[in-house]
A and B are shown apart, each in its own frame.
Chain A
Amino acid sequence: MYIPRQTAAQTRRSFLRENPSVLWFMGLLGLFTLGVTILSEAFGIGVISTNLVKILGMTLCLCLIAIAMDVVWGYCGILSLGHFAFFGLGGYAIGMWLMYARTEIVIRDSLGRGTIPPTETEVSEAVAAQIFGVVGSSELPLIWSFAGSLPFQLAMVVLVPGLLALVFGWLAFRSRVTGVYLSILTQAMTLALSLYLFQNDTGLRGNNGLSGLQNIPGFLDVPQSIISVWFFWASSLALGAGYLLFAWLVSGKFGSVIRAIRDNEARVRFLGYNVEGYKLFVFTVTAIISGIAGALYYPQAGIINPAEIAPIASIYLAVWVAIGGRGRLYGAVIGAALVSLLSSWLTGGGAPNIDLGFFRIVWTDWWLVLLGLGFVLVTLFFPKGIGGLFDYLVRKS
C-alpha cells in the first residue's frame, strides 16, 4: 500500500487538526492574558489589584508545572513525587541572583558614599555579611560564586533541575525501579533535598530561605504593579510555550511510545524500544520545565524557603493533576488552576464563613478536610477527573 509522504505544512496542519484543544487553549490563554492586562492597575482600568495579578501569574506557573507533571505521570506513568523539588530548585537558582544583585546594589550605594570607593572584596564581603548574617556567617559560600551573574543563574535554572533529574532518573530507571517504589524513591529524593536546604550551613540560608525576591535588580524604581504584569505576561508566555511543546511532544510517535510505556512497559521493551531512554528523556524535560516554572513563580511570590520543597508539595501537585484529569494537558491546567485558586481563596480568609446554626464552617479550618475527602471521591468515582467531563460533552455533541 502506498502512503504519500506528508509535507511539513501538512504535518503542522494535521497536528492542530488532531488536537483542537491546543487551539482552544491558546485562544483562551490569550484572551485571559489580555483581559487581566486590561483590568490591571498598571495598564488598564485597575479592577484587579496588583496582589491578585501576582496570584494569577503564580497560578499560571503552577499550571505549567502541572502540565509537566501530567506528561510524566498521565502520559508516561511515572508518578514522580519530586517535581516540586525541581520547581523549588529553579526558584532558588533565580532567587540567588535576585537576592545577591539587589543586595550588591544597596551595598555599593552605601559604601560608595564614603570618601574612598570600595574594593571588590569589600563589596562582596559586605554583601555576604548582609545575606548570611541571619544564619550567623559572613562568608559567601562557594555556590554563590557566580550569583551576581544573571546569565549564569539563568543557566542554573535549567541545568540544576535538569542534571539532578538526569542523574537520579538514570540511577532509578537503570535499576528498573517502577511504580510505587519509584514514587517512594522520588519522595525520598525530595525529602533529602529539603532536609539539606533546611540546614543553615549549606549556603542557602537554611529555613530562612531567600527573601525580597519581588524586587528586580535594575528595575528597583519600577512599581510592583507594573512588574507584576510583566511577570504575568512572562508566565503566560511560558505556559503557552510549554503547552505547545508538550502537546507536540505527546501527539506524535513519541507520545504513542510513552503512552505504551505507561500501559505496558515490558511489552514496549520487547518491541525493541529503549524504554529507559524514553523515560529518562521525559523525566528530565519535565524537570527542566518545572525549574523554569519555579524561576517564574518565586519572583512573584517574593520568598522561597525549604518548606516549599517538602514532599507534601509534590503530592499536592499529583492531586491537582488527578482532579483535573490525567492524560490530557488541559485537564492538568484546569486542576491546578481550580484547586490552587480555591485553596488560596478559602484559606486566605476571603471566603465568607457559613453559619449552619448548630455549627459554623470556618473555611480556613475545613478547606483541607474538604479537599482531602473531595479528592478521595474523585479518585473513587471520577478517575478521569474534571477533564473527563469534556469527553462526555464531546461525545454528546
Chain B
Amino acid sequence: MRYVRHCNRELRAAYIELLKQDAGQGAEFPLPDLLVAKDMTMPRHALLATLALCLMFLWTPASVAAQSETPLQDVLQTVQEQVARPSRAQVAAVLDALQAADAPGTMEFLNRWAARDVFERPEDGLFFYAREGESRSLTLIDLDTGADVAEVTSRDVNQIRVNAGVRREIEGALVTFELLAPDRARRLAAVRTIARSPEAEHIPVLESALAEEQDGAVAERMARVLDLLNARFATDGAARVAAIEGLSGDITTEARRALNQILSTRSEFAPEIPEGVNVARIRTPGEDLDLIAAYARLAEADLVPPRQGRNAIRDALRANVVDGEVGGIPVHQLDTDEMRRAAYTALEEAGSVAPLVTQSDMEAAVAEYVFFDAYIEPDQAVTDAARASLDSTRTAISLWQFLGISLDALSLASIFFLAAIGLAITFGVMRVINMAHGEFIMMGAYTGYVVQTVIPNLTTSLIVALPLAFAVTFAAGVAMERLVIRHLYTRPLETLLATFGISIALQQLAKNIFGTQARPLTSPDWLAGAIQINDVVSVASIRVAIFVMAIGFLLLLLFILNRTRLGLEVRAVTQNPGMAASMGINPDRINMLTFGLGSGIAGVAGVSIGLVAQVTSEMGANYIVQSFMTVVVGGVGSVFGTLAGAGLIGALQKGIEWFNPANTLAAQTYMVLFIILFIQFRPKGIVALKGRAAGD
C-alpha cells in the first residue's frame, strides 16, 4: 500500500507538471479526481490506466471540455489565489467566476468556504473539504465527487480563513446565486428563505433580482417579499410607510408577523414621557396596571424601597424573635395578618427593620411616574401605518377563520353523521336500541386494519376494506338480529340491555384479539396531505374524503329507502308490520335486512373513522352516546333528521370551541348540556315525524 501511495505521488507530480505547461495556453483543466480520488484502493495497473486516460483528456481541445459541465475545482483553480487568501476586495472576482461557470456544488462550496471548512493543499494548490478523523488527522474530501482523497495531518494543509467581512459577502452572494438561478423552483425557494428569516441586507439583492426576473409569478412573489423587507428595514420612513400600506389586506402569516414585529412594544416608566418616544399606550396604575406590579417595577429600578410581602414580613419577624416575643407580642399570637403587622410596626419603631411600605406609600410612589408602553420603532408614521394595515386585515381574517371553523364543523358533522347514520336506520326506522352499534364501528375499523396488514398497498387495501367491512358487519348485524333482537321487539328497554351485553362482550373480544394498544389505520398518500386555501384556512384531505363519503351514504340511503323495493317494504314494515305482512311482505326478512344494512353502514363508517381517529377496542364506545344524541336531536325515524342532528352537534361543538379553543372537553360538556335542554323544547327532535308515521 505504501508503494502505491508513493507511486501515486509521482503520478501527481507528473500531472501537475502537465498542468503548469498547459496553464499558460489557457487550456481547460481536466478532472483531477480520477487520479486522486481512489488512490487508497486502486491497484497499480488501474492507476496506470487512469493516467493514460487523463493524458488523453489533457490533449483534447479545450472547447470540448467546456461543453461538459465544468468541475468546481477547475473553476476555483482559475481564481486560486483569491480563494486561498480571500479578502473583501477580491472576493467579488471569485463570486463572478463561480456565477459565470455555475458548476454543480457551488452552493455547498460557498457555504463551507464561509464556514472555514475548505482546505488548500500547498503542494498543488488544490482545494478540499475535510472531515476530522482519529487522532487529529484530517480526511480530505474531493470537492466534486465527495469521495475521500487522502488522510493528512492538519499541518499538511492550510485551512482557508475567511474573515467576517468576506463571510458577509459570501452569504449575500449565496442568496443572489439562488435568486438568479435558472431554475424557477430554486428562485422561489430562495425567496421563501428570505421571507422566513428577513434581513436588511436582502433588500438590494432582492431589488436587483426583481429587475431581472422574467417569470410573472416569481416577480410578484419577489415584490411581495420586498415589501415585507422594506416595511421592516428600509431606512427611509416614507418608503417604509409605502411598503406597509402595500401590505394592508394581506392575510399571510409572514405579512402579519412583519407588521406585528413593527408594532412590538416594551413597557417603560419615567417621571414624564420623554421626547422622541413613540408611545403606544399609557397605563393607569390600578386600572390596566396592577398597583403592586407597578410598584415592584419601581423597586426593581431601585427608585423606591422594596415592598414587604407577607413572606418578607414573616421572615423579618422570624429573624427578630426575642425571648418568645416579637416587638412585645408573644409569638403564638402571631397567627393573623393584623397581629403580624402590629409586631412589624413595633419593630419598625425600634428601628430594627425597614419601614413598612403601605398602600398609600405605594400609591404616592407610583403617582410620581408615568407608566407607558412604547413602540420599539421610533417613527410614529410607520407604527400608525402598520396599525392601520393590521386592522384592515382583521375583518378578512375573522371571515376566513369563520370559514375555517365552519369547515371544521362540517367535517366533524360528517363524522358524527357517518357514525350515526347506521343507527338512524336501526334505531330511527326499526326503533331498536342497539348499544352494540359502536362495536360495529369498531369491527369495521379493525377489518380495515387487518386488510392493511395483508395488503401493503394502502389504496388497494382501502378499496378492499370498505366493502369487506360492510360484509363483516352486515353479517354480524344479521346474526345479532336473528339470535337476540328478534325475540325482544316487544321489549325495547331490554333490547338496550341485551345489546349492551353484546357490546361489552365484543369489546373484550377485540381487546383479547388485538390487544389494548391503538392500531394504526394509515390513509394512502393521496389522502394524507392537506388542502391549503391560505395561511388561515386549511383542510386535511382525509376530512374532505370523509365529507364526500358522508354525502355518498346519505344519497345511497335515500335512494334505498325511497326508490327501491326494499325501501318500500322497510317503510311498510316500520309503519304497520301486521298490515305489511298481510300484503305479502315478510316482516322477519325485512327486519333482518334493515338491521344488516344499518350495521353494515356502521362498519364502513368504522373504516373512515379509523382513518382519522385511533383504532382501539373502545373507539365504538366513544361514539355511541354521541350517535344516539345525534339521532334523537335530529328526530327519530328520519334520515334528514340525522343529517340535521349531526350538523347541529358538529356546529355546536366547534362553535363552543371557538370561544375556548384550548378546552375540547368543555366544548363537549356544554354541547351535551345544550342537547339536554334542546330535547326539553323539541322532544321529538328537529325533524319530527307527524301522523301515523310517528308511531305513537
Contact = CB atoms under 8 A, between A and B. Distances in A.
A368 B331 contact: no
A10 interface: no
Contact of A180 (B496, B625, B665): B496
A372 interface: yes
B496 A177 contact: no
B494 A199 contact: no
B614 to A, nearest CB: 18
A369 B508 contact: yes
A195 to B, nearest CB: 4
A192 B683 contact: no
Interface in B483-510: 484, 487-488, 491-494, 496-498, 500-509
B334 A117 contact: yes
A241 interface: no
Interface in B539-558: none
B673 interface: yes
A191 B505 contact: no
Given A184-B629, A380-B487, A195 B668 contact: yes
Nearest to A201: B663
Contacts of A313: none
A119 B340 contact: yes
B433 A114 contact: no
Interface stretch (A15-23, A37-45, A55-63, A314-322): A314-322
Interface in A114-135: 114-122
A171 interface: yes
B679 A185 contact: yes
- For the residues of B in contact with A, the DSSP-based class is helix
Nearest to A118: B335
A24 B307 CA distance: 73
A187 interface: yes
A380 B498 contact: yes
Contact of B501 (A188, A196, A367, A379): A379
B128 interface: no
A119 B668 contact: no
A189 B334 contact: no
Contacts of B680: 171-172, 174-175, 177
B676 interface: yes
A184 B679 CA distance: 11
A175 B501 contact: no
A181 interface: yes
Interface in B659-688: 663, 665-666, 668-669, 672-673, 675-677, 679-681, 683
Contacts of A370: 505
Given A179-B493, A379-B488, A117 B503 contact: no
B629 A188 contact: yes
A46 to B, nearest CB: 37
Nearest to B313: A116
Q: Which of A180, A322, A373 has the most CB of B within 10 A?
A: A180
A172 B334 CA distance: 55
Given A79-B493, A183-B493, A175 B335 contact: no
Contacts of B317: 116
B336 A119 contact: yes
A380 B668 contact: no
A322 B496 contact: no
B314 interface: yes
Interface string B557-588: 00000000000000000000000000000000
Which of B497, B498, B503, B507 has the most chain A CB atoms inside 10 A of its CB?
B497
Looking at A168, A185, A367, the one whose CB has the most chain B CB atoms below 10 A away is: A185
Instruction: Give the secondary structure class of A's interface.
Output: helix
B241 interface: no
Nearest to A198: B665
A230 to B, nearest CB: 34
A231 to B, nearest CB: 30
Given A199-B665, A375-B500, A116 B512 contact: no
A184 B500 CA distance: 13
B505 A369 contact: yes
A335 interface: no
Contacts of B156: none
A390 interface: no
A338 interface: no
Contacts, number: 156
Interface string A159-184: 00000000010011011110111011
Contacts of B112: none
Contacts of B314: 116
Nearest to B681: A175
B335 to A, nearest CB: 4
Interface in B601-621: 621
Q: Which of A119, A176, A201, A318 has the most CB of B within 10 A?
A: A119
Contacts of B628: 184, 187
Interface in A342-385: 365-376, 379-380, 383
B669 A196 contact: yes
Interface string B293-325: 000000000000000001000100110010000
Interface in A174-222: 174-177, 179-181, 183-185, 187-189, 191-192, 195-196, 198-199, 201
B665 A188 contact: no
Contact of A119 (B318, B326, B335, B491): B335
Interface string A80-122: 0000000000000000000000000000000000111111111
B337 interface: yes
A177 B679 contact: yes
A312 interface: yes
B511 interface: yes
A380 B672 contact: no
A327 interface: no
Contacts of A115: 318, 321, 331
B692 interface: no
A369 B617 CA distance: 13
A299 interface: no
A122 to B, nearest CB: 8
A188 B675 contact: yes
A325 interface: no
Contact of B505 (A181, A318, A368): A368
B632 interface: yes
B672 to A, nearest CB: 4
Contact of B508 (A121, A196, A199, A365): A365
Contacts of B493: 79, 179-180, 183
A311 interface: yes
Between A117, A177, A311, A379, the greatest number of chain B beta carbons within 10 A of the residue's beta carbon is seen for A379
Contact of B669 (A121, A175, A192, A366): A192
Nearest to B334: A116
B332 interface: yes
> Considering residues B663, B666, B672, which has the most beta carbons from chain A within 10 angstroms of its beta carbon?
B672
A201 B498 CA distance: 38
Contacts of A319: 497, 500-501
Contacts of B669: 192, 195-196, 199
A168 B675 CA distance: 13
B364 to A, nearest CB: 26
A191 B498 contact: no
A252 to B, nearest CB: 26
A122 B310 CA distance: 9
A223 B435 CA distance: 45
Contacts of A187: 625, 628
Contact of A179 (B492, B497, B673): B492
A177 B680 CA distance: 8
12 contacts: A115-B318, A116-B317, A116-B318, A117-B334, A176-B683, A180-B492, A183-B433, A195-B668, A322-B494, A371-B504, A372-B502, A376-B501
Q: Which 5 A-B pairs have the closest CB atoms?
A: A372-B505, A375-B501, A192-B672, A368-B508, A117-B335
Given A117-B331, A168-B676, A191-B625, 16 more contacts: A114-B318, A117-B335, A120-B335, A181-B632, A185-B676, A188-B676, A195-B669, A196-B666, A319-B501, A322-B494, A365-B512, A368-B507, A372-B500, A373-B501, A376-B484, A380-B488
